[in-house]
Amino acid sequence: MSSQANIHKQDSNKSEGPAVIQPPAMLGMLGGGQLGRFFVIAAHEMGYKVTVLDPDKHSPAGSIADVHLCAAFDDAAALQTMAQTCQAISTEFENVPAETLATLAQSTVVHPSAAAVAIAQHRVKEKTFFQQAGLPVGPFVAVNSESDLPADGDMYPAVLKVARFGYDGKGQARVANQAEAKAAFAGFKHEVCVLEKMLALDLEVSVVLARDVHGNIAAFTTAENSHLNGILDISIVPARCSEVIKANAQELAKKLATRLDYVGVLGVEFFVVGQQLLINEIAPRPHNSGHYTLDACITDQFEQQVRVITGQALGSPALHSNAVMVNILGDSWLYSGEQHEPAWDKAFAHGNLKMHLYGKQEPRKARKMGHFTVIGDDAQAVLNTARIARSELHIGE
């Protein structure tokens, strides 16, 4: 089927770069969550071995890795082991200390770079980078102290977000005026924040891409995203918006990755306001909205991550089916007030539904436990089936 997804070849005559890392080399993954788990699966399929560093002894990735180093991300002994045994290392979690990446990069191949991750893990640095790179971004104010909070006016209503360690709606507060902003800032213990003006959004879309050391970029099809309580709920691919917006999102994502000199898999989230695209934030790793690639693309985002860090050629990101991805949170186990297993048989009864459960032991409210993707040729039929399965699993109730 037709797709916006493409591989952009860099024209410059760059050097050949480091030697390609061949199977069965040992690769390293910082972080043991579901993104790391899918990386391990992809690496194993391609013939590689994987060492996972994660402090959780029951981590989804660590449980299937060849080696699980159960230690903190700044544990000196664990980092030394990774540096000595892994020929290339990546991350699945943007809050891994940038210093950890920098330390490992002294001894082995590490993608993405510590510099790129440091920008992505700090909202003020991130927004400032977009602005200075000439990329479209919504109105924002860096808040280092209470005096930085603007008086009542055009910046409100707004969202106050902590600069670091916020994700899936955590560390955020909607504020209608300066007084509410001051209260929220105090609630965040006066940590550095960014105040973002709330916009009348028509749509939220994202682009996931892979960029290699030579500057080649493989961009996946633009996805349309909807969130529930700050957490991604549904991704529809291709996005239901104009071809111009979809193409512009692709080009802006590529421009951003190039300006950042990014190497790895990158998720770029956009706000659509009328015909205008504004960059919301980036994720220096595979992205939740790119999970559809596991079932609907020739090459998925996790295989691309393996390909990039090992120096292999990028795979085709082409879309072969329409897709709708739905997140499954711990709420599906808890919707009736007591814990029970969801009705998996009802979901599996849909022949074009692909189920992915992450192996997490304890379902908790708002915890990502898995996802499913419905694929097919008829976009509306795919969406209808996804909505039925979503209801059968009591998602969003």
Residue with tokens 């105090």: 186
Would residue 187 count as lying in a domain?
Answer: yes
Instruction: Tell me: pLDDT of 397 over 50.
Output: yes
Residue 61: CB atoms within 10 Å: 27
Q: Given pLDDT bands bounded at 50, 70 and 90, which one contains residue 13?
A: very low
Among 120, 150, 177, the domain boundary falls at 120
Confirm whether residue 172 is marked as ligand binding.
Answer: yes
Confirm whether residue 322 is marked as ligand binding.
Answer: no
Give the mean model confidence (pLDDT) for residues 156-181. 88
Confirm whether residue 330 is marked as ligand binding.
Answer: no
Confirm whether residue 196 is marked as ligand binding.
Answer: yes
Structural domain boundaries, residue 16: 6-120
Would residue 125 count as lying in a domain?
Answer: no
pLDDT of residue 7: 65
Among 55, 87, 120, the domain boundary falls at 120
Would residue 1 count as lying in a domain?
Answer: no
Instruction: Tell me: pLDDT of 194 over 90.
Output: yes
What is the layout of strands, in order, in the sheet containing 88-91? Answer: 67-69, 49-53, 26-30, 88-91, 109-110
pLDDT tens profile 345-385: 999 999 999 999 999 989 999 999 999 999 999 999 999 99
210 with 313, same domain: the answer is: yes
Q: How far apart are CA 30 and CA 36, in angstroms?
A: 8
74 with 20, same domain: the answer is: yes
Q: Decide if 28 contacts 90 (C-beta within 8 A).
A: yes
Confirm whether residue 191 is marked as ligand binding.
Answer: no
163 with 218, same domain: the answer is: no
Confirm whether residue 392 is marked as ligand binding.
Answer: no
pTM value? 0.93
Q: How far is CA 117 from CA 22, 100, 304, in A?
A: 26, 11, 18
Phi, psi of 129 (to 5 degrees): -60, -45
The CATH number for 387's domain is: 3.30.470.20
Confirm whether residue 204 is marked as ligand binding.
Answer: yes
Residue 30: CB atoms within 10 Å: 26
Confirm whether residue 167 is marked as ligand binding.
Answer: yes
Confirm whether residue 106 is marked as ligand binding.
Answer: no
Confirm whether residue 161 is marked as ligand binding.
Answer: yes
The CATH number for 174's domain is: 3.30.1490.20
Confirm whether residue 335 is marked as ligand binding.
Answer: no
Confirm whether residue 281 is marked as ligand binding.
Answer: yes
Instruction: Tell me: pLDDT of 187 over 80.
Output: yes
Instruction: Tell me: pLDDT of 19 over 90.
Output: no
Confirm whether residue 224 is marked as ligand binding.
Answer: no
170 with 235, same domain: the answer is: no
**Greatest CA separation found in the chain?**
61
270 with 388, same domain: the answer is: yes
- For the chain, the domain total comes to 3
Confirm whether residue 169 is marked as ligand binding.
Answer: yes
Q: Which of 15-29, 33-47, 91-105 has the highest mean pLDDT?
A: 33-47
Confirm whether residue 197 is marked as ligand binding.
Answer: yes
Does residue 22 come out as left (phi exceeding 0), alpha (psi in the -120 to 50 range) or beta? Answer: beta
Average pLDDT value for the chain: 94
Q: Is 241 exposed, middle or buried (0-12, 13-18, 19+ CB in 10 A)?
A: middle
263 with 344, same domain: the answer is: yes
259 with 295, same domain: the answer is: yes
Q: Given pLDDT bands bounded at 50, 70 and 90, which one contains residue 166?
A: low
143 with 214, same domain: the answer is: no
**CA angle at residue 275 from 272 to 276, to 5 degrees?**
60
Confirm whether residue 331 is marked as ligand binding.
Answer: no
pLDDT tens profile 68-101: 999 999 999 999 999 999 999 999 988 899 999 9
Instruction: Tell me: pLDDT of 188 over 70.
Output: yes
163 with 82, same domain: the answer is: no
